[in-house]
Structure 1
Amino acid sequence: MLPAFSTLIDLLAHNAEAHTDRAAVVVAGGTHTHAMLYEAVQRQAAALAGMGVKPGDRLVLLAGNRTEVLVLLGAAAWLGAILVPLNLRLSPAEMAQQARDAAPAVAVIEAQCETLWQAAWPAGMPGVSTVVLGAAAGPTPACPGPPCAPAVPRQDAPGLGVVMLYTAAVEGHARGAVLAQSQLTASARQIGRVWSLGVDDRWLGVLPLFHAAGIGLSLALLAAGGACVLLPRFDPAAAVASIDDHHITVCATFAPMLGAMLDAAEASGASLASLRVCMGLEPASVLERLALLCPGAHFWSAYGQAEVSSMVCLGLQRERPGAAGRAVAPSQVRVQDAAGQPLAVDVQGEIAVCGPTVFMGYWDAATQSPFKPADPWHRTGDLGRIDEDGWLWFIGRAAHKQLIKTGGENVYPAEVEQVLLEHPAVAEAFVFGQQDERWGEAVHAVCALKAGVSVSEVELIAFVEQRLARYKRPQSLRFMAAPLDRGA
């Protein structure tokens, strides 16, 4: 039975005592034990406190997968602060908007991301201390300062926000979903129990730590006393080499990563024999290849989002192909109508989640606190049905949540449409998603031009790419006469 931790500090302190010399984080620079990780968190908390970081302050982070990300998360938990990891694939304009909304006290920027940050804030972010992470990898304080952290973590820490992930765009701008420590630890325990995680398990950290899945799986492995093997970026050959070299047991991917890894494994002769848990959204052809190459690996389907601290439904794909799993207790998942009333078996409606992993609410920049409706059932904005055996079947998105999921990233049509309408030649714009074998879904657009002007498809797509993250650009763009048919 996995321990029940109310805070991240409880988790880290337990590991430092129970699994002192076992690996906690493995990176190119070496292996860092649970004791080393906990010590680094305390030193980092001291350094941040010395810089004046207070409970509730936000720490913006722009970095890849490295040990310091987990150290900063632990230090934020110690102080009652909130870590705000930004997506590295954002455009400078998007990055500036999210950082402005978070109003941080400190910005921690990886050296190789400085150019991107400077493009977002050419003159620096007013009133914000900026710390640059160097090339050295290891659980060392990212922020210098005197050791003056509180002797013990805040006692009210379980209910305090500790991480904020930007998602759920409204009016063209993403909102920050705030998660409390108790919500993250509850999610880690739920995942660990379903997969029977233990001290010998190791997770291949190819999912970015600025995503809920990356953070959630890291904490699930740490909560079990296992280890996270972090790769700075996804490279199929490096990923399969890591699986064999470090005896990886858990691997989660976004499409089309798993297919590329299987190609690399076949080319190199890697056995991947240690894998026992794989998870993601993959086409049947990739799953067939996985079964042939890795007969000992079980593929799990899942359903979740940032607002529910990662996954709340899990299920073995072979037991119910096409389903998204079953609710992981004590989280509850139901399908409901527009009035919030539960629907019968196999009736389509909006997916709602209730339980200990549901977030605190969306960040309100005006009050500098999260705001959440009183209803304990979180409306996910996704449509689905639940069969007689309790399996959830994802169908699509509700009308109020137009979303395209491409390669694991969220694209909200409204934000792409808004940018297209900024072009002087565009009168109307309609952005939509279509099924895609490689990416899951792909972004497409239809535009109506103003009278007497012209612009090419290539020019408009480039216009979007200059203002938004590259994955948000349309894969194709067609021109039609106004008014546009929104059912295009």
Structure 2
Amino acid sequence: MTSTLPTLIDLLAHNAVAHADRPAVIDDGAPQSHSLLYVAVQRQAAALSALGVGQGDRVVLVAGNRAEVLVMLGAVAWLGAMLVPLNLRLSPAEMAQQSRDATPAMAVVDAACAPLWQAAWPEGMPGVPTVRLGAANGPSPAYAGPGTAPPVARQDAPELGVLMLFTAAVEGHARGAVLAQSQLTASARQIGAVWSLGVNDRWLGVLPLFHAAGIGLSLALLAAGGTCVLLPRFDPAAAVAAVEQHQVTVSATFAPMLGAMLDAAQTSGASLASLRICMGLEPPATQARLTALCPGVGFWSAYGQAEVSSMVCLGLQSERPGSAGRAVPPSQIRIQDATGQPVADGAEGEIAVRGPTVFLGYWDVETRRPFKPADPWHRTGDLGRLDADGWLWFTGRTAHKQLIKSGGENVYPAEVEQVLLEHPAVAEAFVFGQADEKWGEAVHAACALKPGAIATEADLIGFVAQRLARFKRPQQVRILPAPLTRAT
């Protein structure tokens, strides 16, 4: 993709001509071409427009990994609207909060995910129509043949926000990071350039499309004229079978997915020889297993977040083991102190990012627009250091961004602490992460009870599980007899 394709629609229109009959998406085994994808986007835009969606409107999406997610993203881009895909692992209360904050004009729900939405809004979201993905009276089926699409005027522009991803919980409340079309296409170009992606590359889409990594890699492959091989859910046996059947070249996973895939490949005898790029945060032992099974694959580390449209650092682990990679041009990273001034090479500080992929800002519920500080350097809330060659070494998180990364999901301790404090027996709560061989980090907690109160570890874990997503539930809760003392 070139700089002359600043919007998602420009990208899709180019592919519809340049790579018309090549597969853009293989959805659960069924291939769909770039030309059909472009037609589907126009039809979807027409369907949404007929239902009243226009420029600036938000459309909440509750769906798994399927081609329609990419079609919906293109459709809202066409209309100048914004897609808000929700994490399917959220609790009903979390889903209700995030959808409420987005103030959507419409909710689009996959049939398989309808129970999740109904649990969040048993009586329906007040004032917000809910339509079934692919329903005759709602958004049109993603692929209905190559006929003429209904005419709908394009309202997209590079600077318009097109995607809102909820992240960065502050005081227990998740915020929506708003990304513009130009930021998503810039990220796709950057990733594609580093990996030399082309029309013959195929990505194994097992990362959820409601995550920045999942949607970012999908767009990187589409920008290169390549193919997204989507699986409806992660299943190790199905994943390795898809790699072999569709000759997948690019894979990205969250721990412990890669290890499970290697187990499945060794059990079934499926070949992973087509892979040339694997990316993730995997322990050295898993990386060594991958190298032994697939000598031709390169394992890449990365650094990124939703606020920077996916990955801004990439690097081969064989070149600098343990590093998070180097900045992907033209994005820049630096390490700075608490006042925002850069520090010397090798010194620890906060990781800051500047460049074309940095988001528009966090969604402001009151003004219904994104807001961020004027400083062009985005403060990530993560700590790290740069060596003399520009390689980034992640070292932790700043005090204002306490975060646990468990199996690729962000868990903010303050959010879990807030829920624990709602339990009638809990006087104080402290949530923290501990290294975990399977998940990378695991959620743990310590609680002090009110005088005379009684609660068991199982009581408190169950209390959290009823209110937050399963991945935020503490694996262990230590009940302490005395008030907690925190280091300052």
| TM-score, reference length from structure 2 | 0.96
User: 1:206-221 to 2 correspondence within 5 Å?
Assistant: 206-221=206-221
Distance in 2, matches of 1:472 and 1:140, equals 37
Q: Deviations over 1:417-462 (max 9, x none)?
A: 0100111000000000011111010000000001111111011101
**2:78 is matched with which residue?**
78
**2:10 is matched with which residue?**
10
**2:152 is matched with which residue?**
149
**2:408 is matched with which residue?**
408
Once the two structures are TM-superposed, the CA of residue 114 in structure 1 deviates from its matched residue by: 1.0
- State the SS of the aligned residue for 1:458: helix
- State the SS of the aligned residue for 1:442: strand
Distance in 2, matches of 1:273 and 1:138, equals 35
Q: Deviations over 1:289-343 (max 9, x none)?
A: 0000001110001000000000000000000000000000000000000110001
Distance in 2, matches of 1:443 and 1:397, equals 15
Once the two structures are TM-superposed, the CA of residue 4 in structure 1 deviates from its matched residue by: 4.7
- State the SS of the aligned residue for 2:158: helix
- State the SS of the aligned residue for 2:466: helix
Q: Deviations over 1:320-377 (max 9, x none)?
A: 0000000000000000001100010000000000000000000001111000100000
**2:223 is matched with which residue?**
223
Once the two structures are TM-superposed, the CA of residue 140 in structure 1 deviates from its matched residue by: 3.6
**1:432 is matched with which residue?**
432
Runs (4+) of structure 1 exceeding 4 A deviation are: 1-4, 134-138
**1:347 is matched with which residue?**
347
Kept after mapping to 1: 8 A contact 2:133/2:141? no
Once the two structures are TM-superposed, the CA of residue 482 in structure 1 deviates from its matched residue by: 3.3
Equivalent position amino acid for 1:369 in 2: R
Once the two structures are TM-superposed, the CA of residue 5 in structure 1 deviates from its matched residue by: 2.0
**2:188 is matched with which residue?**
188
**2:168 is matched with which residue?**
168
Kept after mapping to 1: 8 A contact 2:134/2:142? no
Distance in 2, matches of 1:140 and 1:381, equals 42
- State the SS of the aligned residue for 1:61: strand
Q: Please say if 1:309 is aligned against 2:312.
A: no
Once the two structures are TM-superposed, the CA of residue 28 in structure 1 deviates from its matched residue by: 2.2
Structure 1 spans left out of the alignment, 5+ residues: none
User: 1:472-487 to 2 correspondence within 5 Å?
Assistant: 472-487=472-487
Q: Please say if 1:198 is aligned against 2:198.
A: yes
Kept after mapping to 2: 8 A contact 1:206/1:234? yes
Q: Deviations over 1:137-163 (max 9, x none)?
A: 96248xxxx94521xx226x1000000
**2:269 is matched with which residue?**
269
- State the SS of the aligned residue for 1:70: helix
- State the SS of the aligned residue for 1:287: helix
Equivalent position amino acid for 1:248 in 2: V
**1:139 is matched with which residue?**
142
Kept after mapping to 2: 8 A contact 1:32/1:138? no
**1:366 is matched with which residue?**
366
Q: Percent identity?
A: 75
Equivalent position amino acid for 2:155 in 1: R
**2:97 is matched with which residue?**
97
**1:463 is matched with which residue?**
463
- State the SS of the aligned residue for 2:374: coil
Equivalent position amino acid for 1:54 in 2: G
Equivalent position amino acid for 1:154 in 2: Q
Kept after mapping to 2: 8 A contact 1:29/1:138? no
| TM-score, reference length from structure 1 | 0.96
**2:26 is matched with which residue?**
26
Pairwise CA RMSD: 1.6
Distance in 2, matches of 1:454 and 1:487, equals 26
**2:441 is matched with which residue?**
441
